[in-house]
Amino acid sequence: MYKLMTPGPTQVLENVRMSRSLACTNPDLDTEFVEFYKETCELISSLLHTKNETLILNGEGILGLEAACASLTEANDKVLILDNGIYGKGFADFVNIYQGVPEIYHADYKHTLNVDDLAAYLKDHHDFKYATVVHCDTPSGMLNDISRICPLLKQYNILTVVDSVSAMFGEPLDVDQFQIDLLCGGSQKAVSAPPGLTFVTISDDAKKAIKNRRTPIASFYANLKLFENYYETKWFPYTMPISDIYGLRTAFNNIAADHKLLNRHKIIGEATRNTLQAAGIKLHLESGFSNTVTVFDTPDQVHTEWILDKMKSEHGIMLAGSFDDLAGKVIRIGHMGANATISNMIETLSALDTVLRELNVSLHVSLSEYFLHYVNSNPA
Ligand SMILES: *Cc1c(COP(=O)(O)O)cnc(C)c1O
């Protein structure tokens, strides 16, 4: 077994794994399970600082994104796609599948989305039913300022669909204050449960838009409306994955009890970036650094696979490369959720230091020593 230091799936703590082995009831017939599901949804809403309803759906993160788009999109609806990363651009596919018309707002892939530029664009272009935004675009580690982007879109009555799968609980997120209509999360990133579940928070405006559709939602599995009266009728659209939800609940209990979680992400993110730069390693981005993942360019004289293979086979640690245009060009360290501890980072950076030196990459500092020094002089 490798120590996972990938930007999802992340490490799963023992109490989450144990919860997944609890005795099972019939989730369709046992009304206690409906209560448990609803309480878990309410816990998620409270941790995301929202009065909006949360629904847990039986599929990994992608299902949440598709369900948001499927439930909002009707034929010929215009949708603004904010694109400064691979996931950002990917939303256009869902809009196309459901016969909407995506308008891609393309921005620099090395910089956080410039909100002033977007504001200028929206002055003359704001006839959109909704817009899609990625909070942390994981393949590059790009963080976008949804605290400013979503309220700006709402000024034009544009609904917002936010993918925060790899940012939530590692980056500050206040759904009501940021005015997010549909927020999508997943179990396998900072939440630190195994892959398999997604959850979506739904605002009243989004519910209204779904209710006022002229045509039915063109999906069953990705249809948020099917859950409308689940609690009153004690009936789910399909049988809920009870063990997955037991595990998810414990993962959220862990988050609720961990009052230093966000602060730890901030310190670790900053310390990791500072350490790599001090060593002479080039960070991939110019701005918009998420504290959940650090992405650096593969040094010139080596191959990405050499580093990843040595980290695995000689140190038992799994880091990630990336995909699409970034395949073979960068390395990603996922320091989110249960991965995000000082000791995990010391172990990872110490191994990375050894691997890079063995591959004749010169480093100006010792990675683990610099990191530790940084953390100790900037305590959480
Ligand atoms: C991980 C992730 C998802 C979910 O996709 P998976 O197929 O589960 O990896 C969606 N959006 C973002 C930004 C992610 O990082």
Question: What digits encode the pLDDT tens for the residues 86-96?
Answer: 999 999 999 99
- List all residues whose CB is within 6 A of at least one atom of ligand 1: 8, 60-62, 87, 134, 137-138, 163, 165-166, 186, 189, 195
Give pLDDT tens digits for 296-320: 999 999 999 999 999 999 999 999 9
Mutate to test the pocket of ligand 1, among 10, 58, 62, 86 (most ligand atoms within 8 A of CB): 62
How confident is residue 122, by pLDDT bands cut at 50, 70 and 90? Answer: very high
pLDDT tens for 164-173 read 999 999 999 9
The pTM (predicted TM-score) of the whole model is 0.98
Per residue in 344-358, pLDDT (tens digit) is: 999 999 999 999 999
| Ligand 1 atom closest to residue 65's alpha carbon, by position in its atom list | 10
Mean pLDDT of 58-73: 97
Residue linked to tokens 């959720």:
337
Pairing between β-strand 293-297 and β-strand 330-334 as defined by DSSP bridges: antiparallel
pLDDT of residue 120: 98
For ligand 1, the distance from its centroid to the CA atom of residue 187, given in whole angstroms, is 10
What's residue 379's pLDDT? Answer: 66
Non-local (6+) Cβ contacts of 332 within 8 A are 6, 7, 138, 139, 141, 293, 294, 295, 319, 320, 321, 322
34-70: burial string, b at 16+ Cβ within 10 Å, e else: bebbeebbebbbebbebebbbbbbbbbbbbbbbbbbb
In the chain the first and final C-alpha atoms are separated, in Å, by 30
- Dihedral sign for Cα atoms in the order 140, 143, 149, 151: positive
Which percentage of the chain shows pLDDT scores above 70?
Answer: 99
The answer for residues whose C-beta is within 8 angstroms of residue 63's C-beta and 6 or more apart is: 57, 198, 221, 222
Element (H, E) at 108: none
Contact 275, 356 (CB under 8 A): no
CA-nearest residue, atom 7 of ligand 1: 62
Task: Note the Cα 93 to chain centre separation in Å.
Answer: 19
SS3 state at 310: helix
What's the pLDDT at 46?
98
How many other C-beta atoms lie within 10 A of the C-beta of residue 372? 18
What are the percentages of helix, strand and coil residues in the chain, rounded to 5? 45, 15, 40
**Euclidean distance between CA atoms 137 and 69, whole angstroms:** 18
Per DSSP, 289 falls in state B
Distances (CA, A) of 263 to 172, 333, 340: 10, 18, 11
DSSP labels for 50-82? Answer: -SSEEEEESS-HHHHHHHHHHHH--TT-EEEEE
Ligand 1, atom 12, residue with closest C-alpha: 165
Whole-number Å distance, alpha carbon 165 to ligand 1 midpoint, is: 6
Reported as a pLDDT band with limits 50, 70 and 90, residue 380 is low
20 C-alpha to ligand 1 centroid (Å): 22
Question: What separation in Å is there between the alpha carbon of 275 and the centre of ligand 1?
Answer: 27
Is the distance from CB of 25 to CB of 35 less than 8 angstroms? no
Residue whose CA is at the smallest distance from ligand 1 atom 2: 165
